[in-house]
Amino acid sequence: MEDFCNVCDDKARCNDIGHCEKRSPAPALRPTSAKPNPIPMLLWCPECRMRHIDKGEFATKEHHTHACQGCGMVWRPAVVPTVGVEFLPGFKDAPSC
């Protein structure tokens, strides 16, 4: 596919302004066939500040909408799939005996 703008026919201007309809999206914006793993996050309800930890099926299920078990507030912490965790991966202290 040729990189040109069907509005101005000027490759340099099109690259600066980004208004060309025929250009392919940047590599980071191209859709991928693989589903991303949910991103582990420390989550607190934005309404009542109760800690939100996904358990059971939701601990591994891909989702981006979370509901507070305390006040019922529903929110999306990110536009990508997330999972509320107790500890971030690699930051949990080893159990002391």
pLDDT at 13 over 70: no
| Strand stretches in 1-97, DSSP E | 39-41, 43-44, 51-52, 66-67, 74-75, 82-84
* 93: Cβ contacts below 8 Å, ≥ 6 apart: none
pLDDT of residue 45: 96
Helix H or strand E segment including 11: helix 11-17
pLDDT of residue 90: 86
pLDDT of residue 1: 44
pLDDT digits (tens, 9 = 90+) for 52-77: 999 999 888 889 899 999 999 999 99
User: What end-to-end distance do the CA atoms of the chain give, in Å?
Assistant: 63
pLDDT of residue 44: 96
Helix H or strand E segment including 16: helix 11-17
pLDDT of residue 26: 55
The answer to whether the pTM exceeds 0.75 is no
Cα–Cα nearest to 64, from 52, 41, 80: 80
pLDDT at 27 over 60: no
Please give the average per-residue pLDDT across 31-45, as a whole number. Answer: 80
